[in-house]
Amino acid sequence: MRGWVCLTACPNGLWAALLRSFLEAHGIPVYVENEVMHTLFGAGLPSGWLPNPVLGGLYLWVPAAYQTQATACLYEFFNR
């Protein structure tokens, strides 16, 4: 994705949804790679199960202009 950077990989759909919500609440646009595939094929996006390796991992992407702000937000999230 041109102009976007991969911020982090998520271990499961629950973390992807949680981190996406946190970043969007801070005004940062987020794209979750493979979100539709996991939901469509029953990997259960909001479940605690690990993503199906055949479908690929769940990755959070943000626009390059927001990378520093997004990294700071994740630092704040995990260090509260």
Q: Model-level pTM greater than 0.85?
A: no
- pLDDT tens, residue order, the chain (80 aa): 789 999 999 887 888 889 999 999 999 999 998 876 555 555 554 445 555 566 667 899 999 999 999 999 999 999 98
Rounded CA-CA distance 32/30 in Å is 7
Domain extent listing, the chain: 4-78
Neighbour-count burial of 68, counting CB atoms closer than 10 A to its CB (0-12 exposed, 13-18 middle, 19+ buried): exposed
3-state secondary structure of 48: coil
Q: Do residues 5 and 15 lie in contact, with contact meaning Cβ atoms separated by under 8 Å?
A: no
